[in-house]
């Protein structure tokens, strides 16, 4: 069992629960523990604004409260940007996220890797792979063990199909996909039944082996979508996502790792719903 393995499926929120006393990461961890949830994603979407000292104390609190942490890197990442400076800054943002996340003991960090812009998917893949490999090489030299998990994206204009991320993860050591089932459903208009969810999990296992299902970083939420893919996140009850069938498939394939709920606006309400539904499945 490697250090990143959890041994079960944990449920939690993307960021500080709405009902936390303060908007701080520490208050978020306290609230996650009070609610009986198991994980929380630290959101650096507007930039990595946590000091190393705070990161260390966040990690100590999370360990005490038995809350597993992940992190979401800044939104301003595009490894396929035309301007070299933008690519450089994108790599820096991923590195900053991984360095701070390592200090609080995060198991993985996620981010949206790139936009196709005017490139073909194949050209974009080659560019993203080159830059991600460089990022991973730097982190490995630093002894940083955090898994780098680019996210399955919700719009056809974004790099990040299931196939692209599984291929990247099989070709670069230290990279594993963040499987956003809601994004994939919004992007494809499909992938919303027990059989389709099982097929996705089997595809992951074929490409990455059993460890692909033993260390999952999953995003889940209600989602609104149109012919250009994802529009916005919703509550599960206001969405057509068949989350019970997904949870059944995850249980059937004995998936382990974290399920980070990104529903809006009441994150923890849906995280608790997912956890309860999962536990009640036979």
- pLDDT tens for 172-192 read 999 999 999 999 999 999 999
**Mean pLDDT value of segment 245-267:** 98
pTM for this entry: 0.97
Residue with the two structure tokens 């599984």: 166
Domains for the chain: give ranges and CATH numbers: 9-280 (3.20.20.150)
15/8 Cα distance (integer angstroms) = 21
Tokens of 162: 């299931």
Give the neighbor-by-neighbor strand order of the sheet with 9-14. 147-150, 108-111, 68-72, 39-43, 9-14, 257-261, 216-220, 178-180
Measured N-to-C along each axis, helices 121-141 and 162-171 cross at an angle, to the nearest 10 degrees, of: 40
- Residue 258: predicted pLDDT: 98
Q: What does the pLDDT look like over 59-96, one tens digit per residue?
A: 999 999 999 999 999 999 999 999 999 999 999 999 99
Span 125-131, average pLDDT: 98
Tokens, residue 14 = 């993307």
For the stretch 187-245, pLDDT in tens is 999 999 999 999 999 999 999 999 999 999 999 999 999 999 999 999 999 999 999 99
User: Cα–chain-centroid distance for residue 143?
Assistant: 22
pLDDT of residue 7: 83
| Residue 114 tokens, joined | 């790139």
Torsion of CA 31, 76, 182, 261, to 10 degrees: 0
Q: Range with the lowest mean pLDDT among 5-19, 55-69, 105-119?
A: 5-19
């Amino acid at each position: 069992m490697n250090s990143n393995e959890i041994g079960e499926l944990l449920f939690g929120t993307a960021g500080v629960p709405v009902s936390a006393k303060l908007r701080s990461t520490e208050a978020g961890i306290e609230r996650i523990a009070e609610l009986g949830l198991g994980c929380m994603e630290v959101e650096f979407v507007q930039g990595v604004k946590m000091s190393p000292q705070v990161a260390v104390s966040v990690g100590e609190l999370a360990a005490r409260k038995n809350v597993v942490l992940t992190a979401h890197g800044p939104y301003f990442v595009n490894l396929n940007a035309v301007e070299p400076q933008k690519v450089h800054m994108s790599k820096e943002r991923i590195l900053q996220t991984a360095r701070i996340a390592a200090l609080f003991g995060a198991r993985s960090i996620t981010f949206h890797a790139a936009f196709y812009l005017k490139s073909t998917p194949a050209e974009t893949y080659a560019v993203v792979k080159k830059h991600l490999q460089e990022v991973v090489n730097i982190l490995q030299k630093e002894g940083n063990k955090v898994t780098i998990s680019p996210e399955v994206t919700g719009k056809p204009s974004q790099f990040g199909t299931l196939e692209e991320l599984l291929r990247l993860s099989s070709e670069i050591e230290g990279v594993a996909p963040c499987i956003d089932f809601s994004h994939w459903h919004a992007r494809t208009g499909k992938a919303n039944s027990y059989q389709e969810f099982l097929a996705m999990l089997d595809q992951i296992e074929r490409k990455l082996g059993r460890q692909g299902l033993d260390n999952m970083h999953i995003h889940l939420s209600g989602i609104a979508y149109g012919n250009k893919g994802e529009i916005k996140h919703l509550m599960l009850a206001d969405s057509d996502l068949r989350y019970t069938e997904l949870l059944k498939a995850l249980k059937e394939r004995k998936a382990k790792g974290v399920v980070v709920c990104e529903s809006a606006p009441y994150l923890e309400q849906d995280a608790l719903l997912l956890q309860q539904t999962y536990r009640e499945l036979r």
